[in-house]
Structure 1
Amino acid sequence: MTDPHFFGYGSLVNAATHDYPDAVPARLRGWRRVWRNTTLRDVAFLSVVSDGCSEIDGLVARVPGADWQALDAREWGYQRHDVSTLVDPRLPVEVYAVPEENWNPNTARPKLLLRYIDVVVQGFLRVFGEAGVARFFETTAGWEALVLDDRAVPRYPRHQPLSAAETALVDGWLSRVGAEKVVSD
């Protein structure tokens, strides 16, 4: 029996944040990334929504022995969806998305953690290069957000050190997409 796989499209692209084996670059067709306000916490989740016209980059990795417990705990607030035929029909692949019942449409501007964005961009840079970073920003909706600058005191538990060049890359892209950076509260 083949182990199940997950499709990571955010922080799971950064292999420094997990130890799932055999992670390989992949594309997910029919879904797009979006920053999603929820009723679960004060900062937005990076999620995916079904969109037949979209395609996003990410990583596919095995979940040895179908032991989803640790990954489900890490990805609390999300539900898994079978996307096998949209990634690789030879593999069982699931993606995490925030369920609609947890969306909070009444909040005007999402709040994003800068250290989370740092981790995601670092992962995309390492796997897909600068072109992949560009695709990440271009294929993610919700950049009208407030970006909480938590670099001095990270709120994101899996934050990673960034080089000066990586920091400049993140800041440059946030400026290009019009995200407003504010001091973390």
Structure 2
Amino acid sequence: MAPKDDASLNRKEQILDAAASLFAESGYYKTTTADVARAVGVTQPYVFHFFKSKESLYLAVLDRAYRRILHAFAAVDAPPKHLQETMGKAFVELLVDHRDEILLVMMSYTTSEAAVRDYTRREFETIFERVKARFEQAGLEDAEDKASSFIGHGLLIAMSETLNLPHICRWREKDPEKYGVSAKPAKPST
């Protein structure tokens, strides 16, 4: 690949990173392509060089995040009895490493744009089918129910993170040092 191509791909990734941050912070409707351009230090027409509209930019951010999720779940190598837990840890690692993108994916169903909702529906269906297939291949009983609960738990994690209500879903407490959670003081004895 030519250096110019590398620079162009790098700039596109920078645009996606900035867009993910801005969409996560301000939402789809309040974020503009001009905001994204300003955050990256490029012109708005340069953003349109890669993405024909704000909606296509948003969908590209979601697509990159969905691919991350599918890859993370596919890469999990664990014995059947630890598969769900290990896949859950893979999701948490994604949330820690790519917080904005993963929260956008998990909350994208709230965007009322038809193309976004259709895309979100298809991708969640794909994730569900892949998770269910992994559970079936592992020989887990009730794979469909387990896949449904697994995805539901991911949505609960995303909601608790988005609303800053960590007590709704205490995933961080499972490894406080890693996720920067201070230990709770011991309750006084009575």
- Indicate the structure (1 or 2) with the bigger Cα radius of gyration: 2
Q: Could you say whether these structures have the same fold, taking a TM-score greater than 0.5 normalized by the shorter chain as the test?
A: no
Larger helix fraction of residues: 2
- Per the shorter chain, which TM-score range? 0.3 to 0.5
Normalising by structure 1, we get a TM-score of 0.33
Which is bigger in relative contact order (C-alpha 8 A, separation at least 6)? 1
